[in-house]
Amino acid sequence: MQPLLPLVVEPAQLAEQLGAQKLLIVDLCKPEIYASQHIPGAVHLEYTQLVTAQPPVMGLLPDDARLGEVFSALGLAPDMHVVAYDDEGGAKACRLLWTLDVIGHAHFSLLNGGLRAWLAGRHPVSNAPDQPSASRYQVARSDRALADKDYILAHLQDAQVKLLDARTPGEYRGTDKRAQRGGHIPGAVNMDWTEALDMQNSGRLKPANALRARLDALGVTPDKEVIVYCQTHHRSSHTYIVLKSLGYPRLKGYPGAWSEWGNSHDTPVE
């Protein structure tokens, strides 16, 4: 089945599909924003339902049973096309999309620019809560889009694997320390996730050629397997979807991320 929409969808494209039978729009904005205005037909999802924690490790994936409950409550079915958006740059929406990729859900999109771009385009909004009909969504994850600490440790010397750190330069250098140890995974290169955003264009993604040039300069090229991480794989989920939209064929996200690596006793740090 062909996807209903491209991976990165413009507000005008989505507006044309409102009410489509197999379309599920998921709003990850703050609850008060959803209550005041959201895309008509969108269902609300709290970001906290997409993550779990084993302190100090945060941002972990819930188990399959829990994810099944979350997606069933949204009314998700395997043949549905999910469009996700939020009100803060797209990272929450992309964590949902990365999770869908982990579990093999076929079709999903990021609303380019999120709610901000939707409102800038003067598209319709609603303040009526949308209560989906529950489904029975069966989750069966694969490791195709998922990296853990052991996988990264085993590939630190692998020239065909590139680590991309989506945190701030201060976190990357270790001057902004958010775990027992500061710094980055050896060999990782740094591109703050916000570098992909054009804040003069409602927070949409920058043009593909500009993004490719920046990534090429870092040695993050499509011939390599790329593993993205941040502190809790919140920000780096956005980077994951950016790379996917650019056609990078081998991508993995590291959910434990620096909250795990920086708090572990058996991981090397630069």
Which residues are CB-contacts of 184 (< 8 A; sequence separation ≥ 6)? 165, 167, 171, 172, 173, 174, 190, 258, 269, 270
C-alpha–C-alpha distance, residues 202 and 64, integer Å: 35
Beta bridge partners of 253: 146, 228
pTM exceeds 0.85, yes or no:
yes
Dihedral pair phi/psi, residue 111, rounded to 5°: -75, 115
**Residue 130 confidence (pLDDT):** 85
Q: What is the pLDDT along the chain (270 residues), one digit of tens a residue?
A: 678 899 999 999 999 999 999 999 999 999 999 999 999 999 999 999 999 999 999 999 999 999 999 999 999 999 999 999 999 999 999 999 999 999 999 999 999 999 999 999 999 999 998 888 999 999 989 889 999 999 999 999 999 999 999 999 999 999 999 999 999 999 999 999 999 999 999 999 999 999 999 999 999 999 999 999 999 999 999 999 999 999 999 999 999 999 999 999 999 999
Whether residue 230 lies in the annotated active site: yes
Which residues are CB-contacts of 133 (< 8 A; sequence separation ≥ 6)? 75
- Which member of 67, 70, 93, 230 is catalytic? 230
Domains, the chain: 8-120 (3.40.250.10), 149-261 (3.40.250.10)
